[in-house]
Amino acid sequence: MNKKILDLAAAAALFGACLPAFATEATSDGFPPAQNLNYYNVPGADQATDSLAAPLGGSDYLFLAGSAFTPRTSSQTVSYPGSGCTFTDGAITTSLELPNGASVQGVRLYYYNNASPGSVSLFFTAYTGDSGLTDLLTGSSTVATGYASEYFPASSPVVIDNGGQAYVLTSTMSAGLRLCGMRVFYSP
């Protein structure tokens, strides 16, 4: 019994001695600051690669920040509230360039909504250049507690055909909301 107490005391002393070192490393070695606790992650199948359920053959992500999207018209307002997020009262787009033959499983939408009405929407669209278009995937945000992300799976995997069409990610949003990014989940 006495030995157990002594062992516990020794462990506590060692742990206590290490605490200042941890704190120093966290600030001096370039560790990122504490993550935003006001972030809600809605789990999805795109995160299976972190687990034993990872699909055979591997999967990849292409993560594009909201601030990399550009306005589709000049008549809309665009602002930058920070942290890679963008607000606009119109539509913003970016070209999606993936390896030919890649298979898109879905898209995770990153956004900010702090109790505002409305939603942030995503569109994954293919254009043929001659007026043809197909919305391959659409989704709208549902969380309103600050920063959040949600995964929207494709109804069936979308096989990229770079010779056949152009692929575009588009977002629209209600007032007060922000697009912070889209992460495409695909198999090469």
Residues that bind another protein (CB under 8 A): 70-75, 91, 93-95, 97, 100, 125, 127, 129-133, 162-163, 165-168, 170
- Least separation in angstroms between residue 94's CB and another protein is 6
Taking Cα atoms as reference points, which of 167, 108, 170 lies closest to residue 143? 108
C-beta of 123 vs 147, nearer to another protein: 123
C-beta of 16 vs 132, nearer to another protein: 132
C-beta of 128 vs 142, nearer to another protein: 128
C-beta of 95 vs 138, nearer to another protein: 95
Q: Which long-range contacts (CB under 8 A, 24 or more apart) does 156-160 make?
A: 157/103, 157/104, 157/105, 157/187, 158/103, 158/104, 158/124, 159/101, 159/102, 159/103, 159/104, 160/98, 160/99, 160/100, 160/101, 160/102, 160/103, 160/104, 160/186
- Least separation in angstroms between residue 146's CB and another protein is 29
- Least separation in angstroms between residue 113's CB and another protein is 25
d(CA 98, CA 116): 34
- Least separation in angstroms between residue 98's CB and another protein is 11
d(CA 133, CA 37): 39
- Least separation in angstroms between residue 34's CB and another protein is 34
C-beta of 70 vs 79, nearer to another protein: 70
